Amino acid sequence: MTALALPALHASHAGSWLREGAGATRALSKGEAVMAAADTPLLLLNAPLIATRLGYPDLSGLDLLELFAFVHPARFCVPTPKGLAHALGLEEPGSDGEVPLLLQSAAAALLAVCAREDWAERAGAWSALQSLSRLRWPWAQVLGGHIAKPAQAERWLFARLPEWEEAPERAQPAQVLLDELEIEGHLERLTGEGAERREGQRHYARSAGAVFAPRRKERLPHVLLAQAGTGIGKTLGYLTPASLWAEKSGGTVWVSTYTKNLQRQLRAESARAWPAARPDGSPPVVVRKGRENYLCLLNLEDALQGGFGGRAAVLAQLVARWAAYSRDGDMIGGDLPGWLGTLFRRRGIAALTDQRGECIYAACPHYRKCFIERAARASAQADLVIANHALVMVNASRGRDHAQRPTRIVFDEGHHVFDAADSTFAAALTGLETVELRRWLLGPERASRGRRRGLAARLADVASYDEAGGRAIEAALAGAQALPAEGWLARLGENAPFGPVEALLAQIRAVTYARDESGGVEAGYGIETEAAQLPGELIEAAGAAQQALAEIRVPLLRLAARLEAVMEDPPDWLDAQGRARIEGARHSLSWRIDLLAAWEAMLARLGGPPDPEFVDWLAVERGEAREYDVGLHRHWLDPMKPFARVVLEPAHGIMLTSATLTDRDEEGPDWAGAVARSGALHLDLEPQTAVADSPFDYAARAEVLIVTDIRKGDIPALAGAFARLVEASDGGVLGLFTAIRRMRAVVSRIADRLARAGLPLYAQHVDPIDTGTLTDIFRDDPRASLMGTDALRDGVDVPGRSLRLVVLESVPWPRPTILHRARRAAAASLLPGGAQQYDDRIIKARLAQAFGRLIRTRNDAGHFVVLSPAFPTRLLPAFPPGTPIIRLTLEQALQRIEGGIGNGVGREELQST
């Protein structure tokens, strides 16, 4: 069967088109397209997206993205017709009607690659195809005639992967002092001869060098808060002293980020300062993420051997193809295509990672080839470790190896450190969390769930050798029977809880619904109520649940002590791998014991006076108008207190940097908020500060347009405004919403209209595509527009013409949660402007972050629109000084956008309107 003989279907918001074999392409209705897809296997591109466009969820066919993932694993491809054409060197389609022919040409091109002798990813393809044939993968029959059987049997994936090697512990870094002239000279070498001399970057790099000076006093690190405007070269500015210090001291610098985009940028930028590999082959730069980001080889093996069925089994085979060619096994934001998991409509990707912390370490047959262990060991020897805020905080608080805990850290995107600490140091006693603990202790409830083994199976040899340890395991497992099991949420809905913890969750659910005043039930959002003035039934249930949790924690404490004794006086049969496995078990036990202790402390406070350090509340989490979790939550009122103790205090040098680190007012940067959010005050130290202003001419390259005639809550008017703004800009629009519901309502009203004008529209929570891939699509097509929520406000880096208009649906007010109310009240007595100033800081930071999406390079230009009838004047300092800010009607805004920046359309008149 030739690819050009296969019929091809394409569907967008503008319509549907079908090409049957070598015939002509014709337009057809949605109904006709669904009938065609139901009768014959068709060539498609991104089947879930096409299914959404057609309203036919059962759509299946020959998805070219699946073929691309098989032929070119670990290669990048934007999952659009244009992106596929670019990836394969084909001519991009000029219209939707030309896409079916492109799909046929792309299929032919991919099949031709399989027949070539120089196919770079040939190894393992024939064996994978045999497995996929047994799974009845639609492409298997087509590929059969293009992939020849190898002359020799192919080695299986797990035999081909390289093993990591042990390395000696790295020596303590030397104490060095960086000279400012030395830093400047190194910066000139890294930027290259003839590069533009940027004084802001030079000043910034010199300031960053102070972080790496020897610490003067125990538990008092050097702390630098450095605000760096967009365009000064911030990344290279701090990598310069970091690389110089690493070279002179032999130490490791950690750079922590919040978004995956910046991690990719850092990996690329670091090539200027470090070679790709040292003479011994080890990498000087390592990207490090949490365990849940990496492929677990044991989970993959289970999936390949029958643990997955149906379409999920096909996914496992394609992931195995990728694993053989992956750079580092990173499944979330690495070189695994972000769209691959969305093609299979279930959480198959998550099931292949170590999300539940069930790693058996050295007992795993793939331990010496494990991607996670490889990354951990490489980071211990690296000069630069690129990580994320959450991992840095978790590693600092419960890292297995004290020698690997970071002591010199640069927190890029430092304005997110407060939120990351808030999440890291919080506790949540919820149904989902307790079910996960039960699985970790007891193993799977059903044998069909694959390898996931319980505590007894993981430590069977220890239990048989150490009688006291065996009794502790038995007691912990008996206690685990009190934890919620599968089906707990349905039992709560039927008012039939089983066990003391489910009984507590039932009481929490009942009280939360009884007190709800938000309308959240009808709106489909989560609801919450403060943990105060609670009924006696809930207090009584909390006491019983607390006792049940203690009956798990106490045996786990005894088990931890017995494991320590075994390590101190090991039996003859305990080899190096066994010791490593027990060390891993001790680490897992430690943080679960801490988790149980935190839950017990939360329950002990219920009914008594509130702890002034914490904010507690009850919540029922909802999504898509249905419940998915119930529980008790506890957050620090000021999460920078534990951050200061856990992260700052042991460190020697900490730098927090961002383009929006400080609050802005008419007089310039206000450092008070940044200092408070750094945690430095909790160590009684005064951080150093530095400012490097952006070199961009915002007055000439950008305008802020505040549209005053779109009434709040008027969805038809809001949708009409968005459609006209996209049309006026000819695409290239990033739309930011404060509520998913409003975004969906707008997108559903305007997508077809824009598509008919050749203006593709994509949206978070609407299109079945992950956020990273949506950004790739948006960046790749200058006429595309993207709608989203908070994740896009600070996670989109799209320089050039692809982004020329940012539209905020409204002023980004803080959501009035119980936690926000408590922090607002606490700030009211500390800030000159009281509670309003606390809110204004949050709003101005969000506005500044959103505006920062617009101008990413010196040549960028565009408009920033806020749809607000009464935008508060006090928030205007959020925008860069000199940026024109104009209040006007929608019609006037459309004129300015159509004319472009600097069109001179009555600015003075409009400002006075």
Kindly list the strands in the beta sheet with 614-623, ordered across the sheet, starting from the edge strand earlier in the chain. Answer: 427-430, 626-636, 614-623, 527-530
Q: What pLDDT sits at residue 401? A: 55
Q: What pLDDT sits at residue 403? A: 52
Q: What pLDDT sits at residue 456? A: 85
Q: What pLDDT sits at residue 833? A: 77
Helix (H, G, I), strand (E, B), or coil: what is residue 616? Answer: strand
- C-alpha span between 68 and 74 (Å, rounded): 10
CB 707 within 8 A of CB 888: yes
- C-alpha span between 132 and 849 (Å, rounded): 46
Q: What pLDDT sits at residue 581? A: 75
Tokens 């030397």 locate to 174
User: How far, in whole angstroms, is CA 436 from its chain's centroid?
Assistant: 21
- C-alpha span between 396 and 628 (Å, rounded): 31
Residue among 371, 366, 351, 359 nearest 308 (CA): 351
Helix (H, G, I), strand (E, B), or coil: what is residue 600? Answer: helix
Q: What pLDDT sits at residue 904? A: 42
Residue among 391, 417, 418 nearest 406 (CA): 391
Mutual orientation of helices 500-515 and 536-568 as an angle, nearest 10°? 140
Strands 408-411 and 253-257: parallel
Round the CA-based radius of gyration of the chain to a whole number and report it. Answer: 29
Answering whether pTM is above 0.85, one says yes
CA 185, 191, 196, 201 torsion: positive or negative? negative
Give Cα separations from 813 to 457, 653, 764, 847, 871 (angstroms). Answer: 51, 35, 20, 10, 11
Mean pLDDT by 10 residues, the chain (913 residues): 80 94 90 87 93 89 96 95 96 94 96 93 95 95 91 88 88 94 94 80 96 94 95 94 96 92 88 88 91 92 90 95 95 91 82 79 86 92 94 81 77 95 96 93 66 74 84 95 94 95 97 83 72 96 98 96 88 77 83 95 93 96 84 97 95 96 78 91 93 93 96 94 97 94 95 95 93 92 93 82 95 93 90 86 94 92 95 94 95 95 45 34
